[in-house]
Each structure stands twice: as structure tokens, then as C-alpha cells.
């Protein structure tokens, strides 16, 4: 049975890395001693070592060790043997590129389906969807495919922003871009605001956090989903 936390972000304003969600993670990973960290998204170009250290320092606070997938000669075997998995945020294009390069997409699907507890933040949440096509990131590399894990039956738009009525900015809003996506694609998109996450247990997907989320479905009016309610497509 799937057991996922799909979070819009790792850090909210005024809070340290993962700090806002650590109580949830302590329960989510309660039977886990060591988490396998996937640092491939490399926010700001940080090294795998530096990014893994950041994750280690956060999880130390709840008594869980972290080891980076880059430390293994066989990353597929590392995924298969992992007690729990965390994929951090950064650039989704590079993350997906590395997952395909290391032949990890299918093995991740396998272990998640079997119930290995998983945490994804930002890019690590984007890959939980059907495709990565609703990322906000620049296409700095070209992955072999936009198809991702399909652990949830829709796509994620992390860090979803509402239009600011007082702004003079004339560029596209997130809603505009998602509408453009739905001209050519059928898959629904969930706009996750900062500090919100999905709690996935098997086929149940519950919105958590203090804010609503915005659900976009092709040819339908967007819906505001209340926190602590089930997301149904």
C-alpha cells in the first residue's frame, strides 16, 4: 500500500529546512532508521554531498539517519533495499533526467507500490504525478521522457501562487499556464500552495496543511479543495 507525503515545499517563510513538517515526518517514518535521499534536483546547483548534509541535519532532529543515493555503486539496489525514501526539491528536469539515466523510474514505482514510505518536496513531489509537465522549472536539460512515477492520478504544480490583484506584473499567472497545458493534455493538475501537502495511503489522498489547494480539470471551472479533505479525480 502506498505511503507518501507529497509536499509543495521543504521550507516555509520563517522556518528552517523541513521544520514545519517534521512532526508529520516523525510519524510517517516511525519505523524507519535510515532514509535514502535522492539529491538529483540540486537546487541552486548545490553538490550532492552538500544537499545530503542538509537533509541529514533536518532528520537528525527526529532521530533518523540519512544516506545519499550517490554514495552507492548500484542506485537501483539502494532503492530496493531502502527503508524510506526522500526526494528533495530543485530542478525537476535534471531530477527526471537522472532518474532515467540511472534506470530508477520503474524501481521507484515498484517500491512505492509495495509501501516503502516516501517523502517528496517540490521537484520530488512533481515526480509523483503522471508527468512532470506542470513544473515551474527551467528546462536546463532534456530528460528522455516527461513521464514520471504516476503514484497519484494527477499532476502537481508545486509552490502554486494566486494572482496578486495589486501587482502591476503583466506576465502569465499559474492558472493561465495550466489552462494552456489543458488545451493539449487531459491530466488534471493540483496547485499546491506553500505549506500544504498530500497524505497518500493506498488509494486515499488527503490534503493537509492550513491552506486550500486548487484543482484544475480540463474544460471545467477550477475547484478550491479544503484542507483535510480527500482529493478525488
Known catalytic residues are: 122, 137, 159
Give long-range contacts, CB 8 A cutoff, 24+ apart: 173-181. 174/136, 175/214, 175/216, 175/222, 178/134, 178/216, 179/216, 181/133, 181/134
Helices (H), the chain: 22-28, 48-60, 75-81, 92-101, 105-114, 123-126, 174-184
Q: Which three cell numbers stand for residue 55?
A: 537533509
State how far the alpha carbon of 11 is from the alpha carbons of 38, 93, 133, 208, in Å.
17, 21, 23, 15
What is the rounded CA–CA span in Å between residue 192 and residue 98?
Answer: 24
What sign does the dihedral 177-99-58-23 (CA atoms) show?
positive
Cα(105)–Cα(59) distance, integer angstroms: 25
C-alpha to C-alpha distances, 4 to 7, 17, 44, 175, 220, nearest whole angstrom: 9, 19, 26, 26, 28
Cell (9 digits) for 35: 532514509
Amino acid at each position: 500500500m502506498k505511503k507518501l507525503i507529497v509536499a509543495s515545499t521543504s521550507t516555509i517563510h520563517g522556518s528552517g529546512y523541513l521544520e514545519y513538517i517534521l512532526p508529520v515526518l516523525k510519524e510517517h517514518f516511525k519505523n524507519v532508521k535510515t532514509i535514502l535521499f535522492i539529491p538529483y534536483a540540486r537546487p541552486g546547483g548545490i553538490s550532492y554531498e552538500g544537499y545530503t548534509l542538509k537533509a541529514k541535519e533536518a532528520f537528525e532532529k527526529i532521530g533518523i539517519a540519512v544516506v545519499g543515493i550517490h554514495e552507492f555503486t548500484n542506485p537501483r539496489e539502494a532503492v530496493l533495499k531502502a527503508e524510506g525514501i526522500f526526494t528533495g526539491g530543485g530542478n525537476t528536469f535534471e531530477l527526471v533526467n537522472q532518474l532515467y539515466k540511472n534506470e530508477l523510474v520503474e524501481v521507484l514505482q515498484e517500491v512505492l507500490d509495495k509501501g516503502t514510505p516516501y517523502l517528496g518536496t517540490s521537484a520530488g513531489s512533481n515526480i509523483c504525478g503522471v508527468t512532470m509537465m506542470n513544473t515551474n522549472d527551467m528546462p536546463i536539460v532534456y530528460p528522455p521522457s516527461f513521464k514520471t512515477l504516476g503514484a497519484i492520478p494527477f499532476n502537481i504544480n508545486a509552490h502554486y501562487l494566486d494572482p496578486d490583484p495589486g501587482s502591476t506584473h503583466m506576465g502569465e499567472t499559474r492558472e493561465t499556464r495550466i489552462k494552456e497545458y489543458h488545451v493539449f493534455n487531459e491530466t488534471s493538475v493540483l496547485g499546491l500552495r506553500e505549506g500544504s501537502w498530500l497524505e497518500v495511503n493506498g488509494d486515499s489522498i488527503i490534503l493537509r496543511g492550513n491552506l486550500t489547494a486548487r484543482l484544475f480539470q480540463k474544460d471545467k471551472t477550477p475547484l478550491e479543495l479544503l484542507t483535510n479533505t480527500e482529493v478525488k479525480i
